[in-house]
Amino acid sequence: MTTLRDIFVQADEAEVLAAVARLYDCKKEWLPEAIANMLAELRQLVPDTGAVASELHIEPGEPLLPDDPPGWDVWIRSAGEPDERYSFSLSRWEEWLALAVPESLRAQMPAAEIAAHCLWDMTFHGWTQEKIAEQRAELDRRRREIDEGKVELIPWEEVKTRLDATIEEARKKCAQP
């Protein structure tokens, strides 16, 4: 079984950087150093095999707006739950490293692309595990407030009505000479 750690070890750093730049249209001057540092760190970490066995999946996603190019969905499926998809973006990197990479995914894309997609998703909430842990703690705090009834929730229909009104107002402003 190939794990994500195996992919990070196999993937060539320059090819991973090129894949990130191409797949995510990201050409920031700090990106090469950030990716090099992250790959070096990931290659030193020990996978956490104590979690539930999970399998990595990567596929084209739906565009956010009709004229946008499609994005990418990086998700996992836990063993025994074939119909459930989970985001892993807030997980510890040691947990990421233990993910199984199915042969079907390896046949679809090279190791550098798999690594690029995973790095992009892993760093969505920050470039350090500490920053990601802060984001997760904040989301957990907000969830607790909701569960405890400390915040007022707005029904989706009301949110949608407000958004529609805001969009319509913006369209009118843009149409004015």
Query: With bands split at pLDDT 50, 70 and 90, how would you rate the model's confidence at 177?
Result: low
The phi, psi pair for 11, rounded to 5°, reads: -65, 135
Query: With bands split at pLDDT 50, 70 and 90, how would you rate the model's confidence at 115?
Result: very high
Q: What does the pLDDT read at residue 176?
A: 67
Mean pLDDT for the stretch of residues 131-155: 91
Q: What does the pLDDT read at residue 12?
A: 95
Give the rounded distance of the alpha carbon of 157 from its chain centre: 28
Give the pairing type, strands 72-78 and 54-60. Answer: antiparallel
| 81's tokens | 């739950």
pTM: 0.81
Q: By percentage, how much of the chain surpasses pLDDT 70?
A: 98
Find the angle CA(127)-CA(131)-CA(132) to the nearest 5 degrees.
Answer: 85
| Stronger pLDDT, 79 or 162, i.e. the higher one | 162
Model confidence at 145: pLDDT above 70: yes
| Residue tagged 């989970």 (tokens) | 86
**What is the residue-averaged pLDDT of the chain?**
90
Mean pLDDT for the stretch of residues 113-140: 94
Mean pLDDT for the stretch of residues 28-53: 89
Q: What does the pLDDT read at residue 117?
A: 96
CA atoms within a 13 Å half-sphere pointing along the CA-CB vector of 48: 9
Is there a contact between 86 and 76 (Cβ–Cβ < 8 Å)? yes
